[in-house]
Structure 1
């Protein structure tokens, strides 16, 4: 515990030292200014007779996993109040106006004093930590106050710190969690292996989220007009490393299909670089008109939050990130049904990527030629493409239901 406090203090110091040099860290610190005043105002104005449920998400991906549960709880009891906290600016900036929560804010940095102040204001009936982010101070105070802490869509690999010889502190922290709803059997086995019995296999709530998106995805007139009668590939969350592979691929196929690109980075400099490298009729979403959009071959999405519903306009998908830290969300294109392609490096820890690869409907590529050859299999055979699309949709459908399992647990505790 002593070393943990030292580590948290060191993180605080490093954040302030990097303040002049890191835009992300400036947002991190600026966003927490006046945070306890915001929490106090919530405490003073909320209805004390209605229960509060606290959801914590590291960033945007975890929010998408927690969202089905938040919305189901609100639907079953609209009077409950939800406090949603983020650790990262990338999650908070996008979802700070999320209407499903009564309060959206940053999580104060961990520590007993901050945890006690936070919980004094919020007074949650239960706390939900999404996927993998755990904080010793908060979990300790929650346990002391007999407030249930529930881990949703928990996912661990065998090489994670809690399961190594030096992971005693982290194992003790995990034992403070009231209940775990694990994504896969491996996570269940790992937790049981360190003496945690309060765990069950529920699956990933993201399946419920993407299935709901597919049912309710809004139509996009501009995207529909751009696509017309052509086939299209949606390129989601692409990084520069992905574009190195995709640029020659697009050059070969741009006369045959259209491309919708949603880059991970939508800063002006990054968008300009993509435009300079694409010698085709290219247009940004924010600058195009409906009556002329069909004249273009490449549509660049220069906003955040639209990608998920745009997959409905694709017959093929390429998902970025696998040449960097991690493959981005491939469940979104899978739920709309299409062959999916991605880089050949950082994907092995992504359960759904491995499952779809095994089913023969997702494919890795290390270079342009490999992508081209694998793509041609479906481009030249419509029957095979449609079969792969249906296999993707079926995979998502078979894995829904985690939200209802968690709701059943919550009902039993009330």
Structure 2
């Protein structure tokens, strides 16, 4: 299996190179990895030459979502070990996906940010030798056999944080691949898992409480911090849009085409409600089509300007506001009374916690069961899954038709999120950081 694994890694790297001329993400990954190890080795030699005895913490995230999970850890480490102090720790951040690296390659709290070189034995040895980590932190998943082996050989500690395991995954299969993947995760020193079920599953394959800690999910820490910081940030255009509104405002975050199809039907059925929509992909033609098909007076956020004296009046009259820019959504949720989270008709729903932390009941599509927090929100009665437009319309009608219950649902959602914060501190205390 080890031989087949290494062959598959090389075959995938070749496939990326062949796809690069035709596929944007493949092209970004191919370009980012070209000559990467030489650049890393030069940069790391320079860093260690500039500061003797540096201690490095390597944090790896598959993509942007995992970065948001790992971010509270990075921020807590940097706060405790700041630059310029005797206790300083160098932080090296890596990404597998271009969607993470390209957006966060200038993240200021990391000392170095790289694509992760392909997991071949030679690449892993060179990377670990260059970075010299004392601790490697893998966020949620991505169990690379050669990197974990290289870390073990180098004498570095390794752990996974905010991990979740399910019985139908490869680790619990009784075949050659299952055995190989159990060997792979066996190279980790510690597992910090989201829930008791994950701990029990790991226990069933030989990983006991001395290596497995139920710490919770660091995303709760992240969304609480986001809400607390956003509360102090003014959003005058959004405030103008919701000013004086009597009916509940619905905020629709990270929506895709199938989400927008059922939301359009809801907009037609509820003309008295205002909607804020933040599409996942900011395609201008698609956004214009969304506004046109809604039959509403809609406005794009980026078309508002401070020099336009009529913008405030336009927003008061509009019933659809499209957030066509990145970085605002987590703060926009506070202006709604209920939320719809996109992705549930595709690969899976996006971040429900960003909305719930503001005290909002949440709706989403049918593909949510892989997300523990969504399952728990549904069980609490503060979230609901809908399979189509008719179910969405019926659920919204029931919720907004009982304002007191809607408010109670929202309050329970907010309490749920804040009651589960604290994973970051548990993890860092256990690691002695």
TM-score range relative to shorter protein: over 0.9
User: What SS does structure 1 have at the residue aligned with 2:357?
Assistant: helix
* Pairing 1:51–2:30 present: no
> 1:179 Cα shift?
0.3
TM-score of the pair, normalised by structure 1: 0.96
Distance in 2 between residues matched to 1:273 and 1:37, nearest whole Å: 46
Distance in 1 between residues matched to 2:36 and 2:331, nearest whole Å: 33
Distance in 2 between residues matched to 1:146 and 1:77, nearest whole Å: 22
* Pairing 1:273–2:289 present: yes
Deviation string 1:124-164 (CA, Å, 9 cap, x unpaired) is: 11000000111111000001111001100011111101111
RMSD of Structure 2 on Structure 1 (CA):
1.5
Q: Which of 161, 164, 171 is 1:162 aligned to?
A: 171
> 1:19 Cα shift?
1.5
Distance in 2 between residues matched to 1:152 and 1:274, nearest whole Å: 39
Distance in 2 between residues matched to 1:276 and 1:383, nearest whole Å: 34
Question: Comparing 232-241 with 376-385, which one deviates more in the overlay?
Answer: 376-385
Distance in 1 between residues matched to 2:282 and 2:220, nearest whole Å: 27
Runs (5+) with no aligned partner, structure 2: 83-87, 306-310
**Corresponding residue for residue 345 of structure 2:** 323
**Corresponding residue for residue 235 of structure 1:** 252
> 1:37 Cα shift?
4.1
Distance in 2 between residues matched to 1:280 and 1:333, nearest whole Å: 24
**Corresponding residue for residue 18 of structure 1:** 19
User: What SS does structure 1 have at the residue aligned with 2:411?
Assistant: helix
Distance in 2 between residues matched to 1:14 and 1:4, nearest whole Å: 15
Deviation string 1:82-109 (CA, Å, 9 cap, x unpaired) is: 1111101111122112112111221111
* Pairing 1:199–2:199 present: no
**Corresponding residue for residue 402 of structure 2:** 381
* Pairing 1:28–2:32 present: no
User: What SS does structure 2 have at the residue aligned with 1:52?
Assistant: strand
Distance in 2 between residues matched to 1:407 and 1:99, nearest whole Å: 21
* Pairing 1:304–2:315 present: no
Question: Comparing 7-16 with 288-297, which one deviates more in the overlay?
Answer: 288-297
> 1:45 Cα shift?
3.0
Runs (5+) with no aligned partner, structure 1: none
Distance in 2 between residues matched to 1:219 and 1:172, nearest whole Å: 51
Equivalences for residues 361-400 of structure 1 within 5 A = 361-400=382-421
Distance in 2 between residues matched to 1:229 and 1:93, nearest whole Å: 40
> 1:5 Cα shift?
0.8
Deviation string 1:311-363 (CA, Å, 9 cap, x unpaired) is: 1111110001111111111011010011111112x111111111111111101
Distance in 2 between residues matched to 1:93 and 1:305, nearest whole Å: 15
Question: Comparing 149-158 with 269-278, which one deviates more in the overlay?
Answer: 269-278
**Corresponding residue for residue 262 of structure 1:** 278
Distance in 2 between residues matched to 1:195 and 1:169, nearest whole Å: 14
| CA distance 1:307–1:38, change in 2 (3 Å) | farther
**Corresponding residue for residue 337 of structure 1:** 359
Q: Which of 347, 352, 355 is 2:376 aligned to?
A: 355
How many correspondences in the alignment? 410
**Corresponding residue for residue 315 of structure 2:** 293
Distance in 1 between residues matched to 2:89 and 2:241, nearest whole Å: 43
> 1:229 Cα shift?
2.4
**Corresponding residue for residue 248 of structure 1:** 265
**Corresponding residue for residue 138 of structure 1:** 147
**Corresponding residue for residue 97 of structure 1:** 106
User: What SS does structure 1 have at the residue aligned with 2:33?
Assistant: coil
